[in-house]
Structure 1
Amino acid sequence: MGLSWQQGPLSTSAIGHFLTPEPLPRRLLFAERLRRRMRVRFNGEWIADSENVLLLHEPGRYPVAYFPRADVDPRALVESDKVTRHQDLGDTAWFTVRAGDRTTERAAWQLTAPPGYAAEFEDRVAFAWRAMDAFYEEDERVLGHAADAYHRIDIRTTSRTLEVRSGDAVVARSERPLVLYESGFAPRWYVPRADIDESLLRPVEGQTFCPYKGLCDYYDIGSAHRAAWSYRDAYSEVGRIDGMVSFEPDQVEVRLDGRRLEIEPGQKVVAHGVDRGLDAEETRAR
């Protein structure tokens, strides 16, 4: 997603390439100001509040927000003996986070001596996303990870014919699918339920969470496990796919205008866990 996740330009599995006369390092890190007010809540208290957050984009990772120490409640950080080493940015000191009667070990960290090219990260602290109660931009909760300004979703109508088969059975046939283009992913095709034989979809337990689309339900088709999915309460930003169904082309036969689709390298979704203390109803209420 965005710059560094899935097949974005800073990912190690990027589908594009930089036009440079010399090869670039395999790992490229990118830092930028968030330019939004971000706050961190822990045990009912605001422990960080800043309009000067730096985002670190690192290959294969979600963006990480670094707060100036001056914008963090000093009572919230308790030094520990734990020190690890970041492969690019040097030693990392870890903190226990404390508020009121609650403490969580290894819940925040600081780069203690970043190299000169990353000096802007001196005296900044990052918080483990799931160890906190919540992160906010202004008064709105941000789910999953820090917002990636380079993540984009476009949804388009099409009159192309999409057909899905499982063996001899026609699971779906539609001349009005929607195609969803999402940063770092191949196009995904969504079919209205009226064009699907829903008797062939078997709901399975377990949901995944997308910070940009919401909670995702899955279906088995025949012996194919999780061969289809649907956002039954999609976020308003992607409301056009609400309740529609998409199919995995490596699990069932999916044809677009007669051409069989195949999963592209690196396109398997890495599921994102739900934030700590966040239940399904709250993700829908967003």
Structure 2
Amino acid sequence: MTIRTDAIRKSGPLHWEPSERWVRGTKGGTTVVDSRRPVLVWQPDLPVPCYTFPESEVRTDLLRAARRPDTGAHCGATVFYDLDLDGAVTGNAAWTFPGEELAGHISFEWFGREVLDHWYEEDEEIFVHPRDPHARVDPLPSSRHVRVEIDGVPVAETRRPVLLFETGLPVRYYIPREDVRFDLLTPTDHRTRCPYKGIARYWSWSRGGPGLTDVAWTYPEPVVAAGAVRDLVCFYNEAVDLVVDGERLERPVTVFSAQRP
């Protein structure tokens, strides 16, 4: 099937567009997907896209008809596959979207349930979900005066932050380590992964308090596009008080607010 490359297209409740990125997915050292013609698909019940791949670029010999199909998921998909790799079976690992537009393509569970160990776009590993080409993450060096306070106590202050502008989120203020009061923070074992920035590690406010666990983070080895925030420290705007150029900012309401009383 030939897929147009000139615009986002719609198939029932789905929106999709072709990508020119080389995408690979592996499990246990076995390459399950190796695609140079992936298609990004937006489902109405998910905030992020997924990939679907031409069958010819998927190890279909590793797929079996699902023993217990997850019918009703993924916009009414009716064809589901289990992944059988060296006798280890992962149920409902893949599916095909209904309708003719994306016929001959196979998608893999990813967002919220990663059935493959590693995914790559070109030679860079990506996490959690495919990057949305219509979302931006722009880290910009700045000379703004930024002060971070918790319970009235200054925990960071700098005139050389990096401001990170990310679609759909408030500006994040990344601060050089030399300008952070680490004596007031306690490192934790918490880790999160972001497709746009990489793997983050965290600190909590040492004096405790609701919403102040894992309140600050850093990216020791960010993805290339977010390299400007390497080793800098950021605090949740939702949980701390930020004073920028003398103006105290209101705490934003975001998807993270529920975790930050």
TM-score (norm 2): 0.79
1:95 aligns with 2:76: no
Q: What is aligned with 1:220?
A: 204
The CA distance in 2 between the partners of 1:176 and 1:140, in whole Å, is 29
Structure 1, residues 118-164: CA drift from partner, whole Å, max 9, x if none?
x3112321112311233334555433322322232212222221112
Instruction: Report the number of matched residues.
Output: 239
Q: Which one of the candidate residues 14, 38, 49 is aligned to 1:63?
A: 49
The CA distance in 2 between the partners of 1:147 and 1:102, in whole Å, is 29
Q: Which one of the candidate residues 225, 229, 237 is aligned to 1:241?
A: 229
Q: Aligned-pair RMSD on alpha carbons? A: 2.7
Q: Which one of the candidate residues 24, 43, 54 is aligned to 2:39?
A: 54
Residue 194 of structure 1, CA deviation: 1.7
For residues 227 and 35 of structure 1, do their structure 2 counterparts lie closer, same or farther at Cα, with a shift above 3 Å needed?
same
Q: What is aligned with 1:274?
A: none
The CA distance in 2 between the partners of 1:33 and 1:202, in whole Å, is 45
Residue 235 of structure 1, CA deviation: 3.0
Higher relative contact order (CA 8 A, sep 6+): 1
Return structure 1 stretches of 4+ with deviation > 4 angstroms.
none
Q: What is aligned with 1:264?
A: 252
Q: Which one of the candidate residues 69, 76, 95 is aligned to 1:109?
A: 95
Q: Which runs of 5+ in 2 are unaligned?
A: 1-11
Letter in 1 for 2:69: K
Contact 1:186 1:267 in 2 (8 A): no
Where does 1:122-137 land on structure 2 (aligned, <5 Å)?
122-129=103-110, 130-137=114-121
Partner SS, residue 78 of structure 2? strand
The CA distance in 2 between the partners of 1:83 and 1:231, in whole Å, is 36
Structure 1, residues 37-66: CA drift from partner, whole Å, max 9, x if none?
323333433333333322102343332111
Percentage identity across paired residues of the two chains = 30
Contact 2:62 2:83 in 1 (8 A): yes
The CA distance in 2 between the partners of 1:133 and 1:84, in whole Å, is 25
Q: What is aligned with 2:181?
A: 197
Contact 2:238 2:256 in 1 (8 A): no
TM-score (norm 1): 0.73
Q: Which runs of 5+ in 1 are unaligned?
A: 1-26, 272-286
Partner SS, residue 91 of structure 1? coil
Deviates more, 1:76-85 or 1:138-147: 138-147
